Amino acid sequence: MNLTLGTLLPTNESPSLPAIQTATRQPVTLTVNGVKTELQLAPWTSLLDALREYMHLTGTKKGCDHGQCGACTVLVNNKRINACLTLAIMQEDTQITTIEGLSSLDQTSSSSKLHPLQRAFIDHDAFQCGYCTPGQICSAVGLLNEGHAKTADDVRELMSGNICRCGAYPGIVAAITSVMDSQPTTV
């Protein structure tokens, strides 16, 4: 006999997924790019899903959802992490920065001013499809904050958690080393 959840429960107690999700949601307050937002989330919601599905910050990408590609890299208290590997509820007292929060307002022109790494990725042609790029840039900001990279080989090694399926690595390394050589970077 083929047993399923439906066959194990009396028919009048069959679960309704939306009902379960609504019943188990709880308030979670996240501070993202300096803005505090209260969400209603199931406790198992990843930070990645909270950002993309509930806050509509879709710059952060979902590649593997298993910590293997780096597409979901964001900064938590200025340190780079994979947003797919942490629960949103665990990040309530942290400062989260996504790719959307890296640029700043240019007071003189009232327009958005790119982060030096965003500018460098453009200048060095460091992407093709762009899917990995937000994660690459956030990871690079974290890398420079760590201060361990001194050479291009260090950059290659310490960025090895961020996969680029287009193979734009030469441009990515050139962009990061250009910023590394010109200034210490903080968010």
Binding region for ligand FES (CB under 6 A) out of 8-16, 49-57, 70-78, 138-146: 70-78
**Taking Cα atoms as reference points, which of 40, 56, 60, 59 lies closest to residue 48?**
60
Distances (CA, A) of 1 to 6, 7, 11, 15, 175: 13, 10, 17, 21, 60
H or E element at residue 93: none
- In angstroms, what is the minimal distance from the CB of 2 to ligand FES? 34
Verify binding: residue 132, ligand FES, rule CB under 6 A.
yes
Query: If we measure between CA atoms, which residue out of 114, 54, 102, 42 comes closest to residue 74?
Result: 102
Q: Is 165 in the site for ligand FES (CB under 6 A)?
A: yes
Distance CA(156)–CA(153), nearest Å, equals: 5
Residue of 25, 53, 59, 67 that binds ligand FES (CB under 6 A)? 67
Please say which residue, 62 or 124, places its beta carbon nearer to ligand FES: 62
Rule CB under 6 A: say whether 29 interacts with ligand FES.
no
Q: Which of 62, 80, 115, 124 binds ligand FES (CB under 6 A)?
A: 62
